[in-house]
Amino acid sequence: MKLKNVMENKKVDGVLITNKYNLRYFTGFTGTTGIALATAKNRYFFTDFRYVQQANTQVVPNGFEVVKVERNALDGVSEYIKKDKIKKLGIEDKDVTIEYLNSLKKRIENVEFINLEDELIKLRMVKSEEEIEKIKSAIRISDIAFTEIQSKIKEGIKENEVAAELEYVMRKNGASDKSFETIVASGYRSAMPHGVASEKKIGKNEFVKMDFGCYNNGYVSDMTRTVFYGDEPTAKHKEIYYTVLEAQKLAISKVKAGMKASDLDKIARDYITEKGYGENFGHGLGHGIGLEIHEAPTVSTKGDIILEENMLITIEPGIYIEGFGGVRIEDDVVVKKDGCEVLNKSFKDELIVIKG
């Protein structure tokens, strides 16, 4: 059991899980109000009357016992911390606020707190088959949105309208929400790596960079495509597009388990640098996805994690030229023993020209 190993390695008697993604991962709970406490022998899940029934269905199969709490859940939590004689308690330092910790400290004495957040998050890096299926569903929905949006990009449409359409198609196809603020950046705005959709109208002979994704069954998708709106892309448009495309395909062809994340980043980065655009690729090659849109591992020059089979990462090189525009192409891939599986099926092999 993963939690047990972390507790033993870190020499804690228990771990308090409050981060909503960790909570969902370890207990299966999909509601909004709950806290989990794992100790050497026991697994408790604290929630109030509104969620007891849901918790019984979701967390019991994962080995957690449901404890119904009254107004302040920490009353219940602290009671069980005492009952199980916990002296060293793992908590999530990036998630727990000062107020929350003070509130807990008021209720218990002589307990030492140890930050375990990074360890817990790392346990989520390698995905199960079931998780991969959920992510594939989310990706299928994004792929549909990309197919449908191409007929909507027309004279005078605003970036915000394109974003609204993408979000609507995803929602109609089963997404519960978008997984992050939709990026639609056209023309000069496409040079901004994170240009969320604005009131700018899409003009003729411009790149339209769309980075979007959705939630489905709690898991996310994340994809980017860049298309050209107008008559005929210039040589420069093509050069940038195909440089990014080749860098992406190269990284995809090389990724496999056992490789260091930063080495994967280097493959795409070296290619882009060789073509003279190294300075224009100002972000990491990718990141893990799962319950969260950005989770471990980081795939950048600083990514020191060794990729393992069934990690799920994005591969998304880009080139951004201020005053001209930019291109990013992003797919989600599952790392395999001798390669990877690309989950997005949306076309990218040629620069799509939407006649305008």
- Where along the sequence are the contacts to a copy of itself (CB under 8 A)? 91, 93-99, 101-102, 113, 115, 117, 160-161, 163-164, 167-168, 171-172, 174, 176-177, 181
C-alpha span between 145 and 147 (Å, rounded): 5
Structure tokens at 322: 């201020």
Closest distance of CB 218 from a copy of itself, Å: 13
Closest distance of CB 178 from a copy of itself, Å: 9
* Smaller CB separation from a copy of itself, 96 or 342: 96
Closest distance of CB 154 from a copy of itself, Å: 15
* Smaller CB separation from a copy of itself, 192 or 353: 192
Sign of the Cα torsion 185, 324, 236, 154 reads: positive
C-alpha span between 93 and 90 (Å, rounded): 9
* Smaller CB separation from a copy of itself, 21 or 113: 113
* Smaller CB separation from a copy of itself, 276 or 282: 282
* Smaller CB separation from a copy of itself, 73 or 334: 73
C-alpha span between 351 and 354 (Å, rounded): 10
* Smaller CB separation from a copy of itself, 99 or 338: 99
Closest distance of CB 27 from a copy of itself, Å: 20
DSSP-based three-state secondary structure for 37: strand
Closest distance of CB 147 from a copy of itself, Å: 18
C-alpha span between 43 and 36 (Å, rounded): 7
Residues 6+ apart with CB under 8 A from 280: 272, 319, 320, 321, 326
Q: What's the chain's length in residues? A: 356
Residues 6+ apart with CB under 8 A from 215: 138, 175, 176, 177, 178, 179
* Smaller CB separation from a copy of itself, 75 or 181: 181
Closest distance of CB 58 from a copy of itself, Å: 16
DSSP-based three-state secondary structure for 216: strand
Closest distance of CB 172 from a copy of itself, Å: 5
C-alpha span between 69 and 26 (Å, rounded): 20
C-alpha span between 316 and 332 (Å, rounded): 9
